Amino acid sequence: MVEIVEEKRSRGRPQIRSDDETRSMVTEAASRMFHDIGYASACVAGIAKAAGISTKTLYRLFPAKSDIFESVCAERIERFSSEADTHHVALADTRESLVHMLEALGQLTLDLDTIAIYKLVVTEADQFPEVAAAFYKRAILGTARVIEGWIEARRRSGEIAVDDIATASGMLRGMMIFEPQRGVMLNQRKPPTAAEIRRRAETCADIFLRGCVRRAS
């Protein structure tokens, strides 16, 4: 479906905006509002106004506010998945492929906007369990699937030997993001630079591969 957009004092045919474009506008407006005032204080009417659409149109695309929040999480994860998948298929070298994927993970999870979303979830999860559920589904499980997919593909090719893919994925993600993310969340350090994220990705990849690389029998 599409939305017909009537501009004030416009002439000729009205502009036509696709539902995907409208969803993107809502997601962007909601992300800013959640960041500024939190989930509880953000109202659907306010998000619709900020996105420049009617409340009726917003409800057609997002039946509940929690659906909007899930879309905010999903948009970030989709960017990470696209970046990681492109390189894990294209790069033949195991180490460089893993480094690039971990670097993309670091850029996603150590970004101030992502950390703000995580803080929001932690703060408001008790009052709004649907927010925690959406974040877990999209962010936690979403990144896990990408990492697990990489490990499984490299295991099938015989490059690495891993028995428990899910556990290995969790350890790899934790090694990459846990310490710096907590430091930023607690205001004890600034977000790492791109160069720092790259160096951490290289270190984590080397530690991981040394632990599970297949050795000649």
Q: pLDDT-based confidence at 44, cuts 50/70/90?
A: very high
For residues 48 and 82, membership in a common domain is answered with: no
Separation CA 129–CA 158 (nearest Å) = 42
Separation CA 107–CA 109 (nearest Å) = 6
pLDDT of 122 over the 60 cut: yes
pTM greater than 0.85? no
Residue 165's domain comprises: 66-212
CA 153 distance to own-chain centroid: 22
**Over residues 158-172, mean pLDDT:** 93
Number of domains in the chain: 2
DSSP 48: H
Q: Quote the percentage of the chain above a pLDDT of 70.
A: 87
Is the torsion defined by CA of 202, 208, 210, 213 positive or negative? negative
Q: Provide the CATH number for the domain around residue 142.
A: 1.10.357.10
Q: Provide the CATH number for the domain around residue 52.
A: 1.10.10.60
Joined tokens for residue 14: 């009205």
For residues 197 and 120, membership in a common domain is answered with: yes
pLDDT of 69 over the 90 cut: yes
For residues 57 and 71, membership in a common domain is answered with: no
* Residue 90 lies inside a defined structural domain of this protein: yes
Q: What pLDDT does 8 receive?
A: 44
The helix (H) or strand (E) run that includes residue 128 is none
Q: What is the pLDDT of residues 130-158, one digit of tens each?
A: 999 999 998 899 999 999 999 998 998 88
Q: What pLDDT does 9 receive?
A: 45
For residues 107 and 81, membership in a common domain is answered with: yes
